[in-house]
Chains A and B, each alone.
Chain A
Amino acid sequence: MDALIAKADALGPRQKKRKIFHDSTENSVKKRTAVPKSLQDKDLALNNSSEMQLKPPAQRPCWKMQTCYSLRTRASCRRRETLSGHGGVSQSEIVEGAGQDATRGRREWKLDGGPCRSRYTRNGRHLAIVGSMGHAATFDWLTGTLHAELQLQETCRDITFLHDHSHFAVAQKKYVFIYDRDGVELHCLKAHIEPTRLEFLPYHWLLASIGNAGYLKYQDTSTGQLLVEHRTKFGACSAMTQNLHNAVIHLGHQNGCVTLWTPNLPHPAVQLLAHLGPVASVSVDPSTGGRYMATAGRDSTVKVWDCRNWKGAVREWSARGGPAELEWSQRGALAVASGGTVNVYTSPTIQQPMHGSTQPPLYLTHPIPRRPLNSVRFAPFQDVLTVGHAEGLSSVLVPGVGEPNFDSAEADPFENRKARREKEVKALLDKIQPDMITLDPELIGSLASEPKLSTTTTFDGKPPRGAETPFARLPRLERLRVQGRADESEVVDPDDTAPDGRKLTKEEKERKKMRGKGKSLKRFLRKQRKNVIDPTAVAIRAKLEKQREERKAKAKEQAGGEPRKPSALDRFARG
C-alpha cells in the first residue's frame, strides 16, 4: 500500500520497482457507480483486516471508526493521485504525458553566479532571477525574450518585480536598487541598508525590505517616500513573505519567532515562537484567503499554522536534509525544497490537524541534486514550479497547482502594452492607503462594532453584562468597588438628625442648615467620601462623632434634664 504513496526521500534507493496499477474496468466504473466488491480495494474491506481481532471488543467501534476514517482518507488521497495519474512519476513522464506546449514549463537554466533566487510577476509572464554573485536578469519566460541582464558584481540577496515587469528591485550588498525593464538603474534606496529580502505589496504600492540590521522598511513606490521603518528587535532576518489577502508582512527570525507586521503598528501584530532555532522560510496560503501559514526552520521541521488560531501548529513534520524553502501555489499546493529534493503536498491534507509528526501524503517529488535549493516559486496561472539552486534554476511541471482562469482586470498573462499601461494608471488611482492595512481585510466597509468600552456600571459595581469594560478602563470608584476597597459606609451628616434622634425631612434640613459654616474637618470628610477607607478618614469620623456626642450631652445638661413643653414658637427655633 505504501508503495503507491511516494516517499519523501526520493533520492534514496527504491526498495521495489514501482508498479503502476492500471485497471481499465475499475477506472471506467469508479466515477459513477459504487465499485463492485470484487473490484474493491483490499484495504477498504475491513473484514479482511487481521488487526481487527487484536483489539478488545470494547474498543472496537471507536477503533473501527478511526480505521475507517484513516483508510478512507488514505484511499481518497491515493485515488486522487491515481486519478491524476502521477503518484511518484518523474518529470520525464509528465513531460511525455503532457502536450508539446506544456513542455515549455520544464526547463533547466545553468547560471554561474552562485545560488539563484527568482520571482515571477503577478501575471506569471515574466521571471526575474538573481544570483548571489550579482548576476540579475529579467525575461519573458514564455516567449524567451530577455529584457535585461546585469552583472552587478556584488552580493545580491533578493529580487522582486514592482507593480509589473517594467520595474524591478534588487537587494544588493549595501542598498536596494530599482532598475527599469531595460536594466537602467533608476533609484538607489539608501534607507534600506544591507537588505536580505524584498516584498512588493501591489495594491498599496509599497516595497518592503528587511535587512541584516533587522529593520523592516516600507517605501512607497508611487510617491517615493520612505513610509515607515519598524525596528523588529530580532536582529538579522532572512525569511519574509506577504499575505496577499491582507498585505501583512510575515517575518521569520533567528530566535525562531515569526512576526506579522503592518505599517501602522510599531510592534508586531502577531508574534509567535514557531521553531526551536532560526526560521528559514515562511509562506502564506493564497488559496484559502491567507488562512494558513507554513514555516520551515533550521531545526528541519515544517509547520503549518492556522492564522485564526495560533495555539500550536496544525501540522508539523520534519523535512530531510536541513532547512527547507517553502511556497504555496495559487491552488493551495505546498512546495518544500530541502536537501536535494522538492516535495509538493496538496491542499486538504496539509491543513488537516494531525498529532505527531507524520508527513502528509506526497503529491509529487523531484530530486535536484545541486544544493543548496534557496528559492521555490510557483508560476502564477501555470503548472510550473521554479527552483533556484546553486547552479542556476530548474523549473518543474507540477500538474494541477496553478489557477487555470485568470481575470484580465487583475492579472493577465496575455496583456498587450496598452493594457499594461492602462492597468498601471488604474492601479495608481486605486492605490489603497497604507494605514488601512489590518489583519482583517474585511474591516473596511463593514459596520463599526459597538464600542466595548463604556463607563456605565451597575449598582453592584460590576460592569453590565452587555458591555464588558476592562478593569483598567473603569472609573476609579468603580475599580475600588470591584476590589472591595471603596468606602461604602453611609455618610452620616450630624445635621441630618433632629435632637430627638429622628431623621429630618428635606424641608426641615433646608431650614436648619447652617449656611456658610463649613467646618474644615467636615469639608475634609466630604472630599474624602467615595474613596478609600484610610485611617485618617476613620479617625476624623470618630472624632466628629465624639464631638457630636459631647455637644448633645452638653445641650442636655443645659436643658436641665427636663423636657420642655412644646410651644408654638418651636417652629422658628434653630438647631
Chain B
Amino acid sequence: MKIRVLQHDPAVHLPQRPGDPTPTSRNLDPLMHPFARARERTRALNAAKMDRMFAKPFIASLEGHVDAVEVMAKQPGSLTTVASGSWDGGVIVHHLARRSQLLHAPQAHKGKVSGVCFSREGRLFSCGVDRNIKLWSLESSHTENPQPLTVFTGKSAFNSIDHHNSDPLFATASNLVQIWDETKSLPISNLTFPTSTETITSVRFNLSETSVLASIGSDRTFTLYDIRTGKAERRVVMQMSSNALAWSPTFPTTVLLASEDHNLYTFDIRHLTAPSQIYKGHVAAVMSCDWAPTGLEFVSGGWDRTVRIWTEGRGHSPEVYHTKRMQRVSSALFTSDARFVLSGSDDGNVRVWKAKAAERLGVVTARERAAIEYRDSLKDRWKMDAEVGRVARSRHIPKPVYQAAKLKRTMLEAQRVKGGAEEKAHAGGGKASQRRSGRSWSLQSRRTHSSVKMVVPPFGNLFAQGNRRYVSEDWK
C-alpha cells in the first residue's frame, strides 16, 4: 500500500552550491499571511516616519556675494552652471558640482544687478539699474577683474532680461519692453501696451512659441506680446501686482505668476478669464518662481523666508524649506536635472537644496531602489490612514511663519464670513455690489472684456515691509 506523506526535499530548498542564493518559495494563500494588512500599515507608518527622519534637504551654501542675491539664471543645456546677480552689483557664475566660481565680477554694475540670462552660446547677459546691459564670456573667468565683451546702454534702469530661445535676440524690461539684437547697440524695437506707463518688472520669452513674450508690471498687469507683430496682444489686470513669472517648459500655454497676494497662479493663455490653478501656502508675498524641467513641479521663494516646492495642479500643502539663517528669498531656481533647488536670499547666499527632501544622493543599488519604490507606494496607499497621513503631512515650520499662517487663516475666515453677509445684504442692488469691485480681484482681458471676481484680500500688512527694497515707488 502506497501512502503519501508530506516530505520536503532539502535539495530543492537549499542552495545548490555554496554561494548560490537560497531558493525561496511563495504561498499566496491569504491564510498563510495573517495580519497582512496590519503589518503593511505598520510598514507604511515606518516608511512615513523614515521619510521625515531622513528629510535633510539642505546641501550647500554658495557664498561670494556681499549683499542680497537678487536674480539667478541657469544655463540652458547645462546641469551645473548657474549665474547669480546681487544688490552690490556683483555677478557670479557658479559651478554647482564643484561648488566653485566660473566667473566672478564683483563690480559688474553700479547698484543692483536686476537681471541675468544666458545666450544659447553660453555667454552671459547681465543688466542693472545703472542702465547698462553687459555681455560676459565665461572663458575670461580666471582674471581678477573680468571685463565685459560688450556693453549695451539703455535710457532707463533695467528690471529684467531674457534671451530668445533660438535667435540672437534678447528682451529687456524697463518702463517698456525692448527687443535687442546681440550685434546691435540699440534696441531694434520697443513693445508697450498702449495705455501703460508703468514699470515693467519682469519679462520672459515663451519656450516653444519663441516669439511670444510675457511681461508683468507694477500696474498689476500681466501682458503678452508678439515680437513678430511688435504689439502687445493681451493683458490681464490682477488685484495685486506679480513679482515673477515663468513659462512652463512642457505645457507651452501655461504660465506661472508669483503674486504679491501670497499666492501663485497658473494661467492658460488661451483662457485668460480665470487662472487654471491658485497655489496657496506662502504667508507673505511670493518673490520668485521657477518650473522644474519636467513641468510637473515648480519652486517658489517668498518674503516669508521659505522656499516651497509645489506639484503642478495641487494648490495646497507644498514642501517647505527653511533655515534659521536664510532671509527673504528673492530668487528660486530648479536645476535642469530636476533634482536640486537653488535659492538666493537677502543674506547674500545661494543655497542648494534637494528637490526631494528625503532623497538619498549617491549611488543607489537596485535593492535599495526597489525598497524606496516600495516605501513610496506604501505611503501613497496608506495616506488616508489617520496616523500615516499625519506623519507624512506634518512639517516643522518656523514659529513666525506658523503664526502668520494662523493669523492669515483667521483673517480669511473672518473676511469670508463678512463678505458672505455683505453679499446677502447687497443681493438686491446690482449697482451696489459692482461698486464694491475694488475689494474683489478682477481679471480683464482686452479681447473678451469679461471679468472674473474673486475675493482675495490684500495681505500686505502681515509682514513688515520696511526694508523691502524691490518695490518701485511709482505705483504706490
Contacts and interface: CB of A to CB of B under 8 A. Distances in A.
A445 B41 contact: yes
Nearest to A448: B386
Most chain A Cβ neighbours within 10 Å, of B3, B4, B22: B3
Interface in A55-106: 84-86, 89, 93-94, 96-99, 101-102, 105
Interface string B1-23: 11111111110011000000010
Contacts of B34: 203, 244-246, 441
A93 B32 CA distance: 32
Q: Is the interface of B mostly helix, strand, loop or mixed?
A: loop
B2 A97 contact: yes
B465 interface: no
A101 B385 CA distance: 49
A436 B38 CA distance: 8
Contacts of B46: 429
A118 B361 CA distance: 51
Contacts of B2: 85, 97
Contacts of A403: 27, 32
Interface string A221-265: 000000000000000000000001111000000000000000000
A162 to B, nearest CB: 17
Given A408-B26, A429-B46, A399 B5 contact: yes
Contact of B24 (A102, A286, A404, A408): A408
B39 interface: yes
A7 B22 CA distance: 46
Interface in B105-164: none
A287 B31 contact: yes
Contacts of A433: 42
A432 B35 contact: yes
Given A203-B34, A407-B26, A407-B27, A93 B1 contact: yes
A472 interface: no
Contacts of B38: 203, 432, 436, 441, 444-445
B1 A404 contact: no
Given A382-B6, A399-B3, A399-B6, A410 B32 contact: yes
A383 B382 CA distance: 40
A403 B25 CA distance: 13
A312 interface: no
A96 B28 CA distance: 34
Interface footprint category on B? 35 or more
A397 B6 CA distance: 9
A203 B3 contact: no
Contact of B5 (A383, A416, A430, A445): A383
A221 B295 CA distance: 50
A417 to B, nearest CB: 11
A321 interface: no
B37 interface: yes
Nearest to B381: A445
B371 to A, nearest CB: 11
A346 to B, nearest CB: 15
A10 B1 CA distance: 21
A96 B1 CA distance: 8
B7 A101 contact: yes
Nearest to B39: A430
A405 interface: yes
A414 interface: yes
Given A405-B25, A408-B25, A429-B43, A247 B35 contact: yes
A61 B218 CA distance: 96
Given A289-B31, A407-B26, A414 B14 contact: yes
A414 B8 contact: yes
A249 to B, nearest CB: 15
A182 interface: no
A413 interface: yes
A406 interface: yes
Nearest to A290: B34
B181 to A, nearest CB: 64
A400 B6 CA distance: 7
B239 to A, nearest CB: 42
Nearest to B50: A429
A85 B3 contact: yes
A432 B42 contact: yes
Nearest to A331: B6
A275 B5 CA distance: 36
Contacts of A85: 1-3
B95 to A, nearest CB: 41
Contacts of B14: 414
A413 B37 CA distance: 24
Nearest to B34: A245
A441 B31 contact: no
Contact of B31 (A97, A245, A247, A445): A245
B33 interface: yes
Contacts of A244: 34
B5 A99 contact: yes
Nearest to A430: B39
A203 B42 CA distance: 11
Contacts of A399: 3-6
Nearest to A405: B27
Interface string B172-194: 00000000000000000000000
Contacts of B3: 84-86, 89, 93-94, 97-98, 399
Contact of A102 (B5, B27, B40): B5
Nearest to B6: A383
A402 interface: yes
Contacts of A559: none
B25 A98 contact: no
Given A84-B3, A93-B3, A99-B7, A406 B39 contact: no
Interface string B404-430: 000000000000000000000000000
A406 B37 CA distance: 20
Most chain A Cβ neighbours within 10 Å, of B8, B13, B24, B33: B8
A418 to B, nearest CB: 8
A381 B25 CA distance: 13
A364 B230 CA distance: 97
A102 B6 contact: yes
A256 B8 CA distance: 41
A415 interface: yes
A23 interface: no
Nearest to A432: B38
Contacts of B22: 414-416, 419
Contacts of A485: none
A523 to B, nearest CB: 34
A442 B6 contact: no
Contacts of B41: 444-445
A568 interface: no
A539 interface: no
A102 B33 contact: no
Contacts of B7: 98-99, 101-102
A431 interface: yes
Contacts of B8: 381, 413-414
B213 to A, nearest CB: 52
Given A407-B32, A430-B42, A442-B37, A98 B4 contact: yes
The 6 A-B pairs of least Cβ separation, nearest first, read A97-B3, A408-B24, A414-B13, A98-B5, A102-B5, A407-B27
13 contacts: A84-B4, A85-B2, A89-B1, A99-B7, A102-B6, A246-B34, A289-B30, A400-B4, A400-B6, A405-B27, A412-B25, A430-B43, A445-B38
Interface of B: 1-10, 13-14, 22, 24-35, 37-43, 46, 382, 385
Given A288-B31, A289-B31, A413-B13, 17 more contacts: A84-B4, A86-B3, A93-B1, A203-B39, A244-B34, A245-B35, A381-B6, A399-B6, A402-B6, A407-B28, A408-B25, A414-B13, A416-B22, A432-B35, A432-B39, A436-B38, A445-B385
